[in-house]
Amino acid sequence: MDLLRRRLVARGLAAALGLLGAVGSAAVLRAEPASIVVASTTSTEQSGLFKHLLPLFEAKSGIAVKVVALGTGQALDAARRGDADVVLVHDRPAEEKFLSEGFATKRQDVMYNDFVLVGPKSDPAGVKGHDVVAAFAKLGTAKAPFVSRGDRSGTHSAELRTWKEAGVDLAAAKGDWYRDVGQGMGPALNAASALNAYILADRGTWLSFKNRGELGIVVEGDKRLFNPYGVMLVNPGKHPTVKAKEGQAFIDWLVSPEGQAAIASYKIGGEQLFFPSAGK
């Protein structure tokens, strides 16, 4: 009888522990939904693109996406540390370096837009036109008020390349006229608006920017202002914590016909901000 009682007690304990384990597992599943971290640029965030795209992807996949919006250089550094699963950025030379270091094994085109030179509508430096290099040369000569993001972003890298192409030794030419704000695109545009200064901006953020003051586009249409965006899964071989399956699902959706159509459909005031380019 004692043996039978002990067996019944043991079975009861096992059943109770099994039930607790099942409840605990269910609680963990509820507490930890699938999610990824995407390190991206301030232009994709501040233009409103992610607010448009992410609800569509999350509803389809059940994967939550947290965006860390940084300059491209900082976004790639975050990925190098293993602090992101996916990077979506716009500085091709920096992206190629990231690939060569083994932090990703593949880069895919996602979309493009262009940069624009924004400045006072009165254009005191006389730069208006379609030649961005000639415009920067005039800005350097006139020492016209200019705001730089100064944050190692794709936009900042494009600006520095343009000064170099224009033959302006920025290190020697810098003075009170050149304001290096170390901020994202939105805050940098706010500074330019307050100072009535020139600034290189991505068109997407400019179109969504409300505090324009006396600013307008003064140079656009130069092929050197082309601004492509690429997406990469952080190499799980470098960082085993990378959520490769979920991250790749996000990338696959972005470059799919559905994701590309979602990118193309994002407009402000009837004007398209980004143009899909996957597979092109």
- Write down the pLDDT at residue 33: 75
Domain boundary among 198, 225, 252: 225
Select from 172, 177, 194, 184 the least CA-distant residue to 72: 184
Q: State whether 136 and 188 are in the same domain.
A: yes
Q: State whether 127 and 183 are in the same domain.
A: yes
Residue-wise pLDDT for 83-97, tens only, equals 999 999 999 999 999
Consecutive 10-residue averages of pLDDT for the chain (280 residues): 47 47 45 86 92 97 96 95 97 96 97 97 98 98 97 94 97 95 94 98 92 97 96 97 98 98 95 92
Dist. CA 157–CA 170, nearest whole Å: 13
- CATH number of the domain within which 101 lies: 3.40.190.10
Residue span of the structural domain in which 264 resides:
35-110+230-276
24 lies in a domain? no
Angstrom CA distances, 140 to 129, 182, 238, stand at 16, 20, 43
Q: Considering its fold, how many domains does the chain have in total?
A: 2
89 lies in a domain? yes
Beta strands at 226-233 and 267-268: parallel, antiparallel or unpaired: unpaired
Q: State whether 154 and 237 are in the same domain.
A: no
Residue whose tokens read 């005191």: 124
**Residue 82 — φ and ψ, nearest 5°?**
85, 20
Angstrom CA distances, 264 to 43, 254, 273, stand at 16, 11, 8
164 lies in a domain? yes
Residue whose tokens read 């952080």: 234
Q: State whether 119 and 251 are in the same domain.
A: no
Supply 182's token pair: 């170390």
Residue-wise pLDDT for 209-221, tens only, equals 999 999 999 999 9
Domain boundary among 183, 203, 225: 225
